[in-house]
């Protein structure tokens, strides 16, 4: 063919991190069929959906089979009932997000990857290590990225004063509670970013997918910070909060006040979604609505408490081995320093070969992740206990 392809793809790794891990694990399992692997790599939930959510899915599916209640295309930005439930969720946290600022989607990953469609060629500022989607989607679009280093000294919570050069009109990605490090910005830390964005005319894209794990006095949403409604988009998900990794639903908040070049950001996103997205199915939106009900939230909180037990088991083990780590309190992720100076892929191979435990090498989240490793608490209690026993013997 004589067509031109997007050469920017040459600037990203050939395989997406979690696909690469899956294929390495598959190969290992084929070569060692008798070994029992414990998967603590991708942050995928293992508990089934709460009953109230399943009932909502069933009920809405049944409605689709009846002439009077059948529905065709859903609204591109979500049904009002779900947008209102999300707005109410924010109200319970103590912030006012009108339902008109909420855009329902099939998940945070899609929105985080698609948001580049509506942005021009800005400088991109991204803490490193980080969820690979921010970097990859910007590299695919040929954007220039400034990485700011997270490390043990700053608790993997870099602040704007680490940016060495003058910035104007940058797009800044933040994730808190953080994937992969589990670290969480305090109100002061997040305020430093919001103030910086306002001062430099920048926009923050805030990934709050792990918000439901927050137990300490740290922000659940960037809109707890004054001025954030003038400079920040927030992207969130039902995946980790309600176990929707296989159901698919999330949302993006674009405050009405966000404007650049005299154009409302919400207008661009509305236009983008209306062109490229046909909305989330009715049963899924009813299921998401049920997860946000009082009973739904209680059931989801019980599941999160279950995962938290896993995080505690891992934390106790690592402390007993004097291994440094962050996360595991307001987050399902434990981010540990690889022992004996191993590189993160060396440690990956070591754990897989010697203990049949799969984790995620820190290097896969960026250069600053080298020498670190992520374990997820999303497994079963039994598997995590067994993993701790294996690690206890090995480390």
**Sign of the four-CA dihedral 247, 252, 253, 256:** negative
Name the minimum Å distance from CB 109 to ligand MLT: 4
**Distance (Å, whole) CA 335 – CA 376:** 9
Q: How many C-beta neighbours within 10 Å does residue 301 have?
A: 14
Binding segment (CB under 6 A) for ligand MLT, from list 36-44, 228-236, 255-263, 384-392: 36-44
Per CB under 6 A, does 43 bind ligand MLT? yes
User: Which residue in the shown chain puts its C-beta closest to ligand MLT?
Assistant: 43
129: left (phi over 0), alpha (psi -120 to 50) or beta: beta
The neighbour count for residue 88, using CB atoms within 10 Å, is 13
User: At its nearest, how many Å lie between ligand MLT and the CB of residue 181?
Assistant: 11
**95 or 375: CB nearest ligand MLT:** 375
248 binding ligand MLT? (CB under 6 A): no
* Binding span for ligand MLT by CB under 6 A among 37-45, 73-81, 170-178, 217-225: 37-45
Extract the tokens encoding 40.
């603590």
Q: How far is the CB of 193 from ligand MLT (least distance, A)?
A: 22
Among 12, 25, 37, 42, binds ligand MLT (CB under 6 A): 42
Check residue 127 for interaction with ligand MLT (CB under 6 A).
no
The string of DSSP letters for 322-387 reads T--EEESSSSSEEEEEPGGG--HHHHHHHHHHHH-EE-EEGGGG-GGGTTEEEEES-S-HHHHHHH
Q: Is 91 helix (H, G, I), strand (E, B) or coil?
A: helix
Smallest CA-to-CA distance from 206 within 240, 171, 182, 239 is with: 171
Which range of residues in 38-46, 200-208, 218-226, 322-330 is near ligand MLT by CB under 6 A?
38-46
Could you say whether residue 47 binds ligand MLT (CB under 6 A)? no
Distance from CA of residue 133 to its chain's centroid? Answer: 9
**Binding letters toward ligand MLT, positions 281-320, x by CB under 6 A:** ----------------------------------------
State which residue, 99 or 380, has the beta carbon closest to ligand MLT. 380
191 or 240: CB nearest ligand MLT? 240
DSSP string, 23-88: HHHHHHHHH-TT---EE-SS----SPPPHHHHHHHHHHHHHHTSTTT---SPPTT--HHHHHHHHH
Within 81-110, the residues that bind ligand MLT by CB under 6 A are 109
**Shortest CA distance to 293 belongs to which of 89, 119, 5?**
89
Nearer residue to ligand MLT within complex by CB, 83 or 109: 109
CB 28 to ligand MLT: min, Å: 19
Structure-token pair, residue 165: 């050069």
Q: Least distance to ligand MLT from the beta carbon of 44, Å? A: 6
Site string for ligand MLT, 201-240 (x = CB under 6 A): --------------------------------------x-
Of 111 and 229, which has the nearer Cβ to ligand MLT? 111
DSSP 211: G
Q: Does 179 bind ligand MLT (CB under 6 A)?
A: yes
Query: In the complex with ligand MLT, which residue's Cβ is closer, 60 or 235?
Result: 235
Closer to ligand MLT by CB, 209 or 253: give it: 209
**Counts for the chain of helices (H) and strands (E), in that order:** 12, 15
Residue owning tokens 């290590």: 129
Q: How far is the CB of 61 from ligand MLT (least distance, A)?
A: 25
Judge whether 179 and 332 are in contact, CB under 8 Å: no
Q: Are 193 and 212 in contact (CB under 8 A)?
A: no
Nearer CB in complex with ligand MLT: 106/229: 106
The answer to whether 103 touches 273, Cβ cutoff 8 Å, is: yes
Residues in contact with ligand MLT by CB under 6 A are: 42-44, 109, 131, 179, 239
């Amino acid at each position: 063919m004589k067509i031109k392809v997007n050469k920017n793809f040459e600037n990203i790794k050939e395989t997406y991190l979690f696909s690469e891990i899956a294929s390495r694990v598959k190969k290992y399992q084929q070569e060692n069929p008798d070994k029992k692997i414990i998967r603590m790599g991708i942050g995928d939930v293992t508990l089934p959906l709460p009953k109230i959510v399943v009932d909502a899915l069933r009920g809405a599916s049944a409605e689709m089979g009846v002439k009077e209640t059948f529905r065709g295309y859903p609204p591109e930005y979500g049904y009002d009932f779900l947008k209102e439930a999300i707005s109410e969720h924010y109200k319970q946290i103590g912030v006012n997000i009108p339902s008109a600022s909420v855009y329902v989607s099939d998940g945070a990953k899609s929105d985080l990857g698609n948001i580049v469609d509506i942005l021009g060629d800005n400088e991109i500022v991204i803490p490193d290590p980080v969820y690979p989607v921010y970097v990859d989607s910007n590299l695919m679009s040929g954007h220039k990225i400034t990485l700011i280093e997270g490390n043990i000294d700053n608790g993997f919570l870099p602040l704007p004063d680490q940016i060495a050069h003058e910035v104007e009109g940058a797009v800044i990605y933040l994730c808190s509670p953080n994937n992969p490090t589990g670290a969480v910005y305090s109100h002061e830390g997040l305020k430093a970013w919001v103030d910086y964005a306002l001062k430099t005319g920048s926009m923050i894209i805030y990934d709050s997918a792990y918000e439901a794990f927050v137990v300490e006095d740290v922000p659940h949403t960037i809109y707890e910070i004054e001025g954030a409604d003038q400079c920040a988009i927030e992207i969130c998900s039902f995946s980790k909060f309600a176990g929707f990794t296989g159901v698919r639903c999330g949302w993006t908040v674009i405050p009405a006040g966000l404007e650049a070049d005299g154009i409302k950001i919400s207008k661009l996103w509305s236009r983008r979604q209306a062109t490229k997205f046909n909305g989330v199915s009715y049963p899924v939106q009813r299921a998401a609505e049920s997860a946000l009900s009082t009973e739904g939230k209680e059931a989801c909180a019980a599941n999160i408490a279950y995962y938290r037990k896993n995080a505690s088991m891992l934390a106790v083990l690592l402390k007993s081995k004097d291994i440094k780590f962050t996360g595991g309190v307001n987050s399902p992720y434990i981010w540990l320093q690889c022992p004996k100076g191993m590189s993160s892929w060396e440690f990956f191979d070591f754990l897989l070969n010697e203990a049949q435990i799969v984790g995620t090498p820190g290097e896969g989240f960026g250069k600053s992740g080298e020498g670190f490793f992520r374990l997820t608490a999303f497994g079963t209690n039994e598997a995590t206990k067994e993993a701790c026993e294996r690690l206890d013997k090995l480390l």
